[in-house]
A = this chain, B = another copy of it.
């Protein structure tokens, strides 16, 4: 699993608390890896036990104390080990695809509505990603190192959302035409 490793990467870039990590996972890191705060706190606890990170209590003004986590040498070693280890390519697991296969057996109208809902979702995500691309990475050819890597991950998100969006359009077009033909058959 990669949540631990995603946390190691994030903490290497900048030390922080569980709460801060959760916010990072909501934003840039969450482009490709969602994690709830419960998961993050539990994982951090385990990582402390394994000596991959250390924790320091930090008093704050005007807000509750926080625990700042920092990567140890052991954590860096684990990250190197994991980077060199092959991982399985993602298996696509699409509930929407199951629903499309099920459309023959039920009301295809509700499936079409569902696809439209997914289309909106992906269009919105894509809009956010495109905005970030334009705002933060105006000159991609000049990027290097960490900044380049951030850009490339964003590109992956853009490609994934664009792909889903295009598929939704293909689905809606084909299913609408199929319905129209079915109606013509009944009437004619």
- Best-surrounded residue of A100, A157, A166 (most CB of chain B within 10 A): A100
Segment among A15-23, A43-51, A62-70, A167-175 that sits at the interface with chain B: A167-175
Answer yes or no: A149 CB below 8 A from chain B CBs: yes
Q: How many copies does the complex hold?
A: 2
Q: CA A114 – CA B31 in complex, angstroms?
A: 20
Contact pick for A83, options B8, B89, B110, CB 8 Å: B110
Q: Are A94 and B156 in contact (CB under 8 A)?
A: yes
B90 and A94 contacting across the interface, CB-CB below 8 Å:
yes
In the complex, A91 Cα to B84 Cα: how many Å? Answer: 25
Chain B residue, CB-CB nearest to A7: B98
- Chain B nearest CB, measured from A146 CB (Å): 4
Contact across chains for B157 and A160 when beta carbons are under 8 A apart: no
Q: Any chain B CB within 8 A of the CB of A128? A: no
Chain B's closest residue to A147 (CB) is B104
Residues of chain B within 8 A (CB-CB) of A155 are 167, 170
Beta-carbon contacts under 8 Å, A107-136 to B: 107, 110-111, 114, 117-118, 121-122
- Are A157 and B92 in contact, with the CB atoms below 8 A? yes
B163/A9 in contact, CB under 8 A = no
Inter-chain contacts of A118 with B (CB < 8 A):
89
Q: A92-B31, A170-B155 are in contact. Are A87 and B100 (CB under 8 A)?
A: no
Question: Are B92 and A160 closer than 8 Å at their CB atoms?
Answer: yes
Which A-B residue pairs are the 5 nearest by beta carbons? A32-B97, A163-B163, A104-B146, A84-B110, A32-B94
